[in-house]
Chains A and B, each alone.
Chain A
């Protein structure tokens, strides 16, 4: 059951997302019927699953929520902003209750009660009289008290022969006192519904078994026309069934509950049951010409003897059939309480066509491999030529398969984006601001590992935007802006990377204040001359905070430097632009996957190393006259007037001793850039190739190495290091943060 519980929780997450999406659409003024339906279905689905697992808190709350949404669905009230707000709040509670059921924190009962009360109030505000009258009408439409139509039952007619279903146990004589006699005649409609008279007989057999007896069945075939006149699908037969005295009317009634509109039936107690069971053998059902299609007749042919055999074993042992259906409203046995003991199993849902595409490619790969194998046995020149062609087509196949696998792992950023709605909602209520978060490009897909890792940095950025980006309502009004603040969170693919932007319409970054704070914190000297971008980037420095008063929102001891670290560790870059009075835009540019990197293969100190292509601005041969040696032994190079540090890679990694400036003449250099836009020129022995490499961690079996972010395995099976450009550049421009400095110190020691 645990595995199904896991599916349930996974599905809860999806339903909550669906709910969030639907409610956002409603709050944007959309009122499509399908949106309302989807919202309803999401809660309904959670409730249904929760009930199966006996998760009572969840069931109770989702039930109230569902009722309220039903009011919306049946248009008893409109999705006004107030109503949607209440639903959003209820969604948060629901989401927390799901976490609680998962073994997370217990949800404050007061919060649940409050939300429930709000939901109930909405439901009540709907046209109550309309609701109740609709219900009354429904009830009237259903024949609750079904009056059975007495059957014209003639025990002995010309072609009537009692057909006992002899069950072979219990004494027939025991039936005599107060036997319960059931007669029934199905309408055509019963058969049209896929039901069958024998199903009723089975139900009755079970009741008899339960009562410790057996049934005695007689079939009335009097209405049966000659075969030639028989109309398939018409009901001609009726039955009389004698149940043991212990059988209750209630359970017999229950058998007819569902078919009450398509079957006439009577229940009577008969002291002196005079029906003598005939000795006649079981009639072949075909003779009775059951009103069924020919197909079903064959089926019956098989089914009838079953009834006979089964009565001894399974039917006798089975719990009464129909009553238990009626009683099924009880929670399933063995309710599960807040339980997710096992670690969550990661799984993803994938579009079938993506898997199919992958399968097709693998199929092609198998063929290509076979071709190569057979070609490799040929020694003639044309064979060689074909071999080369085959290998190159295999290469492109491999590339396609890689893309296909990435597509399988790709997930829209929607899930994490939608979670931000709640972040903004909570943050704005804490800061007393009225802020709307707009999402764009939620369908943009990235590798699932990346999706998960985006949550924390985005949460932080959005809290920051609410807290520091958007001004207070008064300030906005004073500045002639709408009172309501707007934040746009968007995602898009841009040249093989994903670009996520967080844009607010707040006051913009106060350049002077950031500068002053940085000076005060000793991050920059007072006379530093910095560009706007450089100043803005200061807010990502460790220990920086511009908030004049530390609010309870961002005063959590976590600075923006954590965001920057997180984004950098994902191979991402952050850009900032800000217009005073108009707002600030943060951009995260991230790779689409954490598993594969587009790399440039270079050689230094005899080793092949990999540089992420995204960090390489240009490559060139350096000229001796552009190099200037500094007194501390380091060098700078001037490239079209731009001065930047020159980093001899082998020396920087301590793989060879320091090189003299003369040795740089005609050396190959790569101009690289770090996240902050700072550049440096790396001196390498040569540039070998451009290729995609699979990123392998080194830290599981070794420690972090300064200047190295990970490793990969090259085509020849050897290990190659992937260089950490930002660390190399940072160390060269003397802005190494303490962490990497410590690592370097520790390792170089």
Chain B
């Protein structure tokens, strides 16, 4: 059971409430959490993170750079192009979902999320 430990997750969300909940849920599950407050900051955190995260959880609606931008940017970075990116959003709009999928999202979680579903989604893409 060392799998979760030290497994680093990058969460990108402009809502501090959401960031707080993510941090709490993830840290309780034994993950190491790093955070970015919008797409631009998220990518900065990703680039400078040592060790790099094993999965990114990103919101869609954010200032400066939205979630689609995050996915597209990550997919263009040679060292991260296979990094799982899970979209966490209140959007249930199929159009957005298709767009995220096309951009290269690895998963999709609808807010509000339960701790279990979040952990399950992360496990699914990082096991």
**Chain A contacts to B: CB under 8 angstroms:** 1, 3-4, 7-8, 10-11, 37-38, 40-41, 44-45, 47-49, 51-52, 135, 138-139, 141-142, 191-196, 198-199, 202-203, 258, 261, 292-293, 295-296, 303, 306-307, 310, 313-314, 318-322, 324-325, 327-333
Contacts and interface: CB of A to CB of B under 8 A. Distances in A.
A132 B24 CA distance: 40
B17 A11 contact: yes
B123 A318 contact: yes
B127 A194 contact: no
B98 A192 contact: no
A331 to B, nearest CB: 6
A314 B106 CA distance: 22
A685 to B, nearest CB: 56
Given A199-B127, A324-B116, 10 more contacts: A7-B20, A40-B61, A41-B61, A193-B105, A193-B106, A194-B83, A194-B125, A202-B123, A318-B116, A318-B120
B6 interface: no
Nearest to A141: B98
Given A8-B17, A38-B63, A325-B109, A202 B98 contact: no
16 contacts: A4-B20, A7-B16, A7-B20, A10-B16, A11-B17, A45-B15, A48-B15, A193-B106, A194-B81, A258-B101, A295-B79, A296-B82, A306-B127, A325-B108, A328-B114, A331-B112
Contact of A4 (B14, B21, B81, B124): B21
A7 B82 contact: no
B111 A321 contact: no
B35 to A, nearest CB: 13
A191 B84 CA distance: 9
B82 A306 contact: no
A49 B17 contact: yes
A200 to B, nearest CB: 9
A52 B111 contact: yes
Contacts of B85: 193-194
A138 B108 contact: no
A105 B57 CA distance: 37
Interface in B57-112: 61-63, 74-75, 79, 81-85, 90, 92-95, 97-98, 101, 104-112
A310 B106 contact: no
Nearest to A314: B1
Given A192-B75, A313-B1, A142 B20 contact: no
A149 B95 CA distance: 24
Contacts of B123: 202, 318, 321
Interface centre among B82, B84, B85, B113 (most CB of A within 10 A): B82
Contacts of B101: 258, 261
A293 B14 CA distance: 32
A48 B106 contact: no
Nearest to B59: A48
Given A194-B83, A324-B120, A139 B17 contact: no
A90 B32 CA distance: 40
A207 B118 CA distance: 17
A321 B17 contact: no
Given A51-B90, A318-B123, A45 B114 contact: no
Nearest to A328: B117
B3 interface: yes
A202 B127 contact: yes
A716 B43 CA distance: 53
Interface size class of B (residues with CB under 8 A): 35 or more
B18 interface: yes
B75 A199 contact: no
Contacts of B107: 195, 258, 325
A141 B97 CA distance: 11
Contacts of B121: 321, 325
Contacts of B81: 192, 194
A191 B104 CA distance: 10
Contacts of A325: 107-109, 117, 120-121, 124
B3 A49 contact: no
Nearest to A34: B63
Contacts of A296: 82
A296 B83 CA distance: 10
A318 B115 CA distance: 12
In this complex, the member of A47, A199, A320 whose beta carbon has the largest number of chain B beta carbons within 10 angstroms is A199
Among A10, A202, A292, which residue has the most Cβ atoms of chain B within 10 A? A202
B104 A192 contact: yes
A585 to B, nearest CB: 37
B114 A306 contact: no
A319 B108 contact: no
- Rank and list the top 6 A-B pairs by shortest CB-CB distance, nearest first: A138-B95, A8-B17, A49-B17, A52-B112, A194-B84, A328-B117
B110 A328 contact: yes
A194 B20 contact: no
Contact of B18 (A41, A48, A142, A310): A48
A41 B82 contact: no
B87 to A, nearest CB: 10
A389 B64 CA distance: 48
B109 A322 contact: no
Given A41-B61, A194-B82, A202 B124 contact: yes
A1 B28 CA distance: 12
A330 B18 CA distance: 16
Contacts of B110: 328-329
Contacts of A191: 82
B17 A4 contact: yes
Given A192-B81, A192-B82, A292-B82, A199 B113 contact: no
B111 A139 contact: no
A295 B95 CA distance: 33
A483 B95 CA distance: 47
Contact of B127 (A51, A139, A198, A293): A198
B89 to A, nearest CB: 8
A18 to B, nearest CB: 10
Contact of A142 (B21, B94, B104, B108): B94
A154 B6 CA distance: 41
Contacts of A7: 16-17, 20
Contacts of A310: 3, 127
Contact of B20 (A3, A47, A261, A333): A3
Given A51-B111, A321-B120, A332-B112, A45 B63 contact: no
Which of A7, A37, A193 gathers the greatest number of chain B CB atoms within 10 Å? A193
A41 B59 CA distance: 12
A439 B119 CA distance: 47
A314 to B, nearest CB: 7
Contacts of B14: 41, 45
Contacts of A38: 63
B15 A332 contact: no
Given A195-B84, A202-B123, A258 B98 contact: no
A328 B113 contact: yes
B127 A307 contact: yes
Nearest to B121: A325
Contacts of A194: 74, 81-85, 104, 106, 125
